[in-house]
Every structure is written in structure tokens, then in C-alpha cells.
Amino acid sequence: MKKLRVRNKKIDDDLLMKKRREELDKWPTGKEVDFDEAVAYQKSLPDSKIWWKVMTKLREEGRMSVFPRAGTPVLEKMIELCQGLRDSGVVLIPVTTDSYTRLCQYEKVEDILKECEKTGKPLLNGYPIINQGVKKTRKLVESIDAAFSPRGAGGEIAIASGMTTAEAGVGFLGFGSYVKNMTIQELVESSQNGMRVIGWYADRGVILCKDLHGWLPSAPFPLSINIVCMIIEAVTAAEQGQKALYPLVHCMGNMTQDLAWIKLAPRVIREYLDKFGYQDTMIIGTCPAQTPLFPVAMDMGGAFAYLCYASMVGALSKSNAVDLRSIDEGAGVPTKDTNTVSYRAAKWIFDVVREQQVEIDIKGIDTEEKVAETEVRAILDRILDLGDGDIVDGTVKAVESGVLDSPWSPNVNVKDQVLGVRDARGACRYLEFGNLPIPEEIKEFHRGKVAEREKLEGKKVDYHSTVKDLWSLSKGKIVGIPPYNQ
């Protein structure tokens, strides 16, 4: 057996401190960060503001929270928006940053932010955390009794402000779903550049948490690739010093599969963390997430039903959080009022269903779990072979050769030779396997399920079926027969 390892170029402490300061010097508010004071401030936070402790407590008490999305530029309005979330029962609060902040265009943000403050209008599509700086953002964190997580940007400004999540590891989110030209080597370089900030804080007793995204399945597609990428993300983050993480499990709308994947993901992530020697990295819960296309803005009924479906899956799987969009997801930036009605609907399900502690036993969960697990192991085995035991080297080679592949990626460096379709029960199957190293008997299982749909619809399942399936969940019809009214 080859020795399992995780390539990670660590830089020495002096260089680390220099690079951290350089990053902060990109905007004047960086001066508000004093590293030692930030550690002391983090240590002074009550448990209710520490992400991993909040999630652990929810799990121990058999309860759950929505993990929403929210961001508006003016501080007072942001406090109001977050207070609205807290009033709807949310204890995990996101600070969604605006698009310009994510692209580091701070000067542009500064002018627009001034205009926002003058007119009271939200001209940015999120909270510009870098321009707002530590003092102001601490005011936000201190105003509301909940844990905070910066989304899309924030770095050490967010940590010094008392937010308790941070990014680490080789994450596929941007590479697979948001960028056009990045290569897998560039992804590894940028995520393993030795900026082990999370580890630096962990060494000083401050545990920052992270959610694992994996490679987003942008359309109906089996979740195995995503779970493999969450494992890669988890072990590479652990190598950088990450001590607490949890998987976002991307639900596709077939309840049997969704529940099977929610069971499988934390189990195999734990197993591989242990195999690689990171026994002290905690998995502090699971968080089902809404990933496929949302109902269009005009279909508010559909949007409500979809978020209630995800809440129900979370409640039945005894998760401690659910990553939920509001009914305004299809319309753009959510308001306080639409957030409130959306998350009150979710809370109703949490309170009524989650607290019943239902033990469900849906026929087929075991099969789906077994199928996905076999795929995950087969793909990871091949990655470790390609990397001669090194998961990072293997990942680079796997993406380059299509051993790791996902459909509909905007990135031109992705093979994009795989496709998914729904079967006769709405479960996700492969239509095209590309170069994925999936065992032959599992391929046969998928082909058989696709054949059942062909029989039901009386026609061949092809590319056009996969296109039609993109809308299956947003239009509220995942099984491959026409609705009654057509």
C-alpha cells in the first residue's frame, strides 16, 4: 500500500506574517487588524458567536437552523437585515459580500458606498466588508446574538471582526463553477500557497470553521464527484490546520438519493480524514443545500415549495443546518420581508418535523448509498494511484484526464465529457460517463435505470432529455412523464 500524503508547500512564519500584512495593506482598513488583538477578541467571544460551537449545540439538542444568504451595503441596514433573520430563528448568519469586493475593486466600492450612505439606497449587491473595516463590522457582529460567516470575501478583516468561519484547502467551487480560464495547477497553487492562516489561529486556540462545497453539480447529476471533491477539500484544509468543518450536501430533489447522500458524505469524509491522519479535525454537522435551478421569480408558490422541500430533507435527515435561499432567489437580492416569510416557513418545518425525531426508512436509500459509496471509492482510488499516494498530485492529473469531471462547467480547462439525466423516479443517473473510473456493474445499474425512463416515456433518453431535466425541479416535475394537465 502506498503511503497516503497531502502535498502542501508551507512557508516559514516570517514570510507568512509578511504576506498576511501585504494582503491587509491593500486597503486602509487593514491597519485596523492587529493579529494578537484579533486572537484575544476571538477568545473573548461567547459560545453563541462561535460557528462550530453553535452547530455542535444544535446537533446535541436535536435542533436546526437555516443558513441563509444576506448582504446589504449600509451598516445600519445590514444590522436590521440580520436582526430580521435572527427574529426568524436563524442563528447562523452569513455576510454576503458584493461582487466588486469579491473582485478586490475597493476604490470603486468606496465611491458607491458613500452614495449608498448618502441616499440610503443599496447600490451594491452585498456588504462591502473590506471597505467597512473591523470597527464597523464588529458593531454588526456585536449587535446580534448569532454566529457570523463571511461569504465570498473577508479574510482577516472578517476574523478580526469576530466572524468564526474561514476558507482553507483545495476548494473546487470557483474553479468548477465560476471561472473561465483557471487551470487545476493554478487552483492548487492559489489554495496551497502556504497562507495557512486558519492553522495559525488554531495554534493559538482559535478554531475557525469551514463548509465544504466540493465541485458543484450545476444540474441533475449523481453526487459522487462532488463528495470526492469534498474529501479532497477536507484533507487539504486539515493539512493547513483546519480543525472544524462540515459538508454542504447538494440536494437534487429525489428524496431517496438526497437522504442517502446526506448519510454518506460525513461518513466517508470522516473516514478519509482519519486515513490521512487528521483525527483531530471535527465534522460538526451536515447542511443540505439547494443547488439546482430555482423557480423563476414569478413563481412564488414554487419557490416556497422548493425551500420547504429542502427544509424537510434537512429535518428528516436530522441535519443541524440547511443552506436555504429565500423566495426571492430567482428575483435577485432578497429583502428583509421576503427573508422573514421564507425562513419562518423553514422554521415551522424545523420546529414541527425535526423535533419529532422521526426515524425514516425509505426503500432504496441503502442502494443509493451503496452505489454512491462505490463510485466515491473507485474515483478516489484512481486519484491516489495517479498521484502515487499524494492526493494533491492525483487531483491535478485526475482533472486533466477527466477522471474528475462535471457537466456544464464554465471553465474551459474542464473536460466536460459527462452528462446526467433523471430516471423514471427522478433520481440522478449518468447519461455519459466520460472518463470517470466507475466500475462496470455500477454503470450497468445506471443504464438500467435510464432504460426504465425510456420505457416510461416511450422514447430514447438523449442530450435533449438532459436539457429538459435542468428545469425539472424548478418546474416541480422530476419524474419523466408529462404532467396531468398536458
Residues that bind another protein (CB under 8 A): 99, 177-180, 218-219, 296-298, 330-333, 408-410, 412, 463-464, 467, 470-471
Of the residues 5, 32, 151, 167, only one is catalytic, namely: 167
Residue 40 or 412: the one with the smaller Cβ distance to another protein is 412
> Closer CB to another protein, residue 301 or residue 410?
410
Residue 341 or 470 with smaller CB distance to another protein: 470
Evaluate whether 157 touches 129 at the Cβ level (below 8 Å).
Answer: yes
**Residue closer to another protein, measured from CB, 150 or 334:** 334
Closer by beta carbon to another protein, 294 or else 430: 294
Nearest residue (CB) to another protein, 143 versus 335: 335
Q: Which residue has the cell 452585498?
A: 126
Q: Measured from the CB of residue 94, what is the shortest distance to another protein in angstroms?
A: 19
- How far is it, in rounded angstroms, from Cα 120 to Cα 115? 8
Residue closer to another protein (CB basis): 331 or 479:
331
Separation between Cα atoms, residue 422 and residue 465, nearest integer Å = 8
Nearest approach in angstroms of CB 474 to another protein is 9
Q: How far apart are CA 363 and CA 360, in angstroms?
A: 10
The CB-of-51 to another protein minimum distance in angstroms stands at: 27
> Within a 10 A sphere around the Cβ of 55, how many other Cβ atoms?
29
* Cβ-count burial 270-281 (b if 16+ within 10 Å, e if not): bebbeebebeeb
In the bound complex, what is the minimum distance in angstroms from residue 298's beta carbon to another protein?
6
Bridge partners, residue 149, by sequence: 94
Quote the least distance from Cβ 461 to another protein, whole Å: 16
* Cβ at position 178, least distance to another protein in Å: 5
Q: Smallest distance from the beta carbon of 332 to another protein, in angstroms?
A: 4
Comparing CB distances to another protein, the nearer of 298 and 481 is: 298
Please identify, using beta-carbon distances, which residue of 90 and 333 lies nearer to another protein: 333
Cα distances from 472 to residues 244, 290, 292, 304, 426, in angstroms, run 35, 14, 9, 16, 9
Residues 206 and 2: their CA atoms lie apart, in Å, by 34
Long-range contacts of 136-140 (CB under 8 A, 24+ apart): 136/75, 137/95, 137/161, 137/162, 137/163, 138/41, 138/162, 139/75, 139/79, 140/75, 140/78, 140/79, 140/82, 140/95
Could you give the count of Cα atoms lying within 13 Å of 441 in the half-sphere of its Cβ? 4
Known catalytic residue at 453: no
Work out the number of other CB atoms within 10 angstroms of the CB of residue 207: 19
Nearer to another protein, 124 or 265 (CB): 124
Distance CA 362, CA 341 (A): 30
Q: How far is the CB of 338 from another protein (least distance, A)?
A: 11
Residue 167 is among the residues annotated as catalytic for this protein:
yes
**Shortest spacing between CB 324 and another protein, in angstroms:** 20
Q: Which of 5, 59, 69, 102 is catalytic?
A: 102
User: What is the smallest separation between the CB atom of 447 and another protein, expressed in angstroms?
Assistant: 22
Catalytic amino acids? 102, 167
